[in-house]
């Protein structure tokens, strides 16, 4: 059970949520999107949200700022989340405007808002779950895409509801978070996307 829940925690790690949502958009959208435009979004987003955070984590670990990949303490989480927020803002201002897609723009606006909210809460000694914020944001994004494009993707939405439950179980089992921290993270993820829909839906 521990191995399974650990795998779940890695599969739905927060650094994979931005590129996951981007790929989901290109799979779901009925709009014709040239391969060049898809690559022009997916590749830089992958580099900024996956490669750079991994390299940054290794640097922070080597200089003693973080001890483990779980970053269990509030102090350890501040720098990585601040860096993630900056990278998401870079995507908003530098990547997406090159191949502007309104649905992706506001998806990343929601992700940046969620990341910033989690960062601010750390200064009040509240450790919201980034895993649940990520999966919650992606879940709400799928729901809004379904409504926006009037497409039936209920199976995908149902699967992600199950995944959210698995991720929550994983974080509890591994003692990475308390129940309130998971609820706060999930609410941040859901609301951050919900608040953007009036601008594009």
Residue 36, token pair as written in the block: 């060049």
For the cut 90, the answer to whether the pLDDT of residue 168 exceeds it is yes
Write the pLDDT tens digit of every residue in 104-119: 999 999 999 999 999 9
Q: What Å distances lie between residue 28 and 25, 35, 143, CA to CA?
A: 5, 15, 11
pTM of the model: 0.93
Q: How many CA atoms within 13 Å lie on the side-chain side of 157?
A: 13
> What pLDDT is recorded for position 76?
87
Give the pLDDT confidence score for residue 4 in this predicted structure: 82
Q: How do residues 76-101 score in pLDDT, each as one tens digit? A: 899 999 999 999 999 999 898 877 88
Q: For residue 179, what are the CA distances in angstroms to 104, 171, 176, 198? A: 31, 9, 10, 30
Number of domains composing the chain? 1
6 vs 108, which has greater pLDDT? 108
74 near 125, Cβ under 8 Å?
yes
Give the model confidence (pLDDT) of 13-56 as tens digits.
999 999 999 999 999 999 888 888 899 899 999 999 999 999 99
Tokens of 51: 């490669």
The pLDDT of residue 74 is 86
pLDDT score recorded for residue 66: 83
Task: Give the pLDDT score at 199.
Answer: 86
Q: Which has the closest alpha carbon to 106: 9, 5, 199?
A: 199
In the structure encoding, which two tokens stand for residue 1, read together? 């059970």
Q: What is the pLDDT of residue 55?
A: 94
**Predicted local confidence at residue 2, as pLDDT:** 75
Residue range of the domain that includes 11? 2-199
Q: Write down the residue that tokens 């998806």 correspond to.
A: 107
Give percent of the chain above pLDDT 70. 100
pLDDT of residue 19: 96
The pLDDT score that the predictor gives to residue 52 is 95
**Contacts (Cβ under 8 Å, ≥6 apart) of 110:** 137, 140, 141, 192, 193, 195, 196
Report pLDDT for 115.
96
CA distance 98 to 113: 21
Q: 66 and 60 in contact (C-beta within 8 Å)?
A: yes
Q: State the CB neighbour count (10 A cutoff) for residue 130.
A: 27
Tell me the C-alpha distance between 6 and 54, whole Å: 18
pLDDT exceeding 90 applies to what percent of the chain? 70
pLDDT for position 71:
77
Segment 158-172 shows an average pLDDT of 93
């Amino acid at each position: 059970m521990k191995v399974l829940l650990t795998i779940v925690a890695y599969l739905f790690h927060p650094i994979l949520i931005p590129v996951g949502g981007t790929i989901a958009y290109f799979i779901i959208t009925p709009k014709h999107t040239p391969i060049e435009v898809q690559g022009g979004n997916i590749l830089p987003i992958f580099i900024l949200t996956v490669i750079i955070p991994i390299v940054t984590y290794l640097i922070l670990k080597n200089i003693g700022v973080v001890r483990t990949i779980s970053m269990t303490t509030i102090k350890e989480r501040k720098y990585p989340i601040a860096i993630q927020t900056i990278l998401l803002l870079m995507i908003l201002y530098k990547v997406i405007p090159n191949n502007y897609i309104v649905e992706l723009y506001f998806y990343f606006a929601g992700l940046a808002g969620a990341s910033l909210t989690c960062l601010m809460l750390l200064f009040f000694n509240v450790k919201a779950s980034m895993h649940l914020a990520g999966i919650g944001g992606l879940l709400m994004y799928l729901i809004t895409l379904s409504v926006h494009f009037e497409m039936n993707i209920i199976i995908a939405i149902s699967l992600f509801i199950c995944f959210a439950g698995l991720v929550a179980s994983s974080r509890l089992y591994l003692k990475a978070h308390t129940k309130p921290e998971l609820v706060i993270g999930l609410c941040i993820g859901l609301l951050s996307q919900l608040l953007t829909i009036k601008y594009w839906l």
